[in-house]
Amino acid sequence: MPEYYVKDGDEYKPLEDDHIVLSKSELESKYESKAKFGESVQAEINRRFANHVHKDKAHEDESIIARVLESHSGADVNEDELRKRWESAHLKPLQEKYSSVEERAKTLEAQVKYREMGPVLESAGFDDSFYTRPEPGKPSPAEIYFGDKFILDDGNLAIEGSNTSPAEYAKELASMESYKRFLKPEARNASRTGRPGQEVGGGSGSGLTQSSLNKDAKAKADYIEKHGYARSHDGGVPFCELPK
């Protein structure tokens, strides 16, 4: 006996084997044979999707192209206006969000760097008033003077453009005459010992000045080679920090 399907609404269900059919006429009038079932389903599919075109093939369908052109015929397209509307709706919010995130990142980086600088400068002998912010949001004297020299490298405190460690760099700064007033009293007094141009043990200093060295080119060159021009080589006073 061939297989038959019974129509139930929009679906076809297989006819059960134990279903009793009273006559051949009833079978042919109420049920669909297996051979014709596939054809009827395909015909229904073709009917339902007769006017459907896959989105990837829409640009190849002449009827769709014709309808699009007809619906836009006579309309002038202002590309600049469309671009402005798109930028306002999509690009501008992204730019504003990026600017906000970037500003927040800079603030967090400055806070981390500030916290890392404090212990380093304290170990070098600087007074806490030099590296402590006077109030939230306002930079400390240390940040104003050389905050840009200290950077964060992968979250670690480092010195911009140098392999010198932050601790060594802080010691160099502490040895410079221009920063002596920012040292702790005990570090400030200890740093005066043995420096050219300063009192040592109650006696008079060397009396060297920029003017006196400028008169003797060799003496000036020797002094700069030994003590440095702007930054001390050996803990002494660099040339540019000598009295005029």
Domain boundaries, the chain: 4-54, 107-191, 192-244
DSSP 3-state of 126: strand
DSSP 3-state of 139: coil
Nearest-angstrom CA–CA distance, 226 and 86: 65
- Name the pLDDT band for 72 (thresholds 50, 70, 90): low
Q: Tell me: the pLDDT tens digits for 105-118?
A: 888 888 888 889 89
Tokens standing for residue 5: 């399907």
> Higher model confidence: residue 63 or residue 153?
153
Report the candidate in 176, 183, 180 with the shortest Cα–Cα distance to residue 131.
183
Q: Render 78-122 in DSSP notation, one character per residue.
A: -HHHHHHHHIIIIIHHHHHHHHHHHHHHHHHHHHHHHHHHHHHHH
DSSP 3-state of 215: coil
Nearest-angstrom CA–CA distance, 230 and 241: 7
Q: What single-letter DSSP state applies at residue 75?
A: P
**208 touches 242 (CB < 8 A):** yes
- Name the pLDDT band for 202 (thresholds 50, 70, 90): very low
Residue 174: CB atoms within 10 A of its CB come to 21
pLDDT of residue 205: 36
Share the mean pLDDT of the chain.
75
pLDDT of residue 26: 63
pLDDT at 71 over 80: no
> Higher model confidence: residue 122 or residue 219?
122
Q: Whole-prediction pTM value? A: 0.41
Q: Tell me: the pLDDT tens digits for 81-93?
A: 878 888 888 888 8
Tokens standing for residue 124: 């070098």
pLDDT of residue 194: 42
Q: Dihedral of CA 10/15/16/18: which sign?
A: positive
Report the candidate in 104, 131, 128, 129 with the shortest Cα–Cα distance to residue 117.
131
Q: Tell me: the pLDDT tens digits for 15-60?
A: 666 665 555 666 566 666 656 666 777 777 777 777 666 666 666 6
pLDDT of residue 120: 92
pLDDT of residue 119: 93
Q: What single-letter DSSP state applies at residue 16?
A: P
**125 touches 183 (CB < 8 A):** yes
Written as one letter, the residue type at 101 is: V
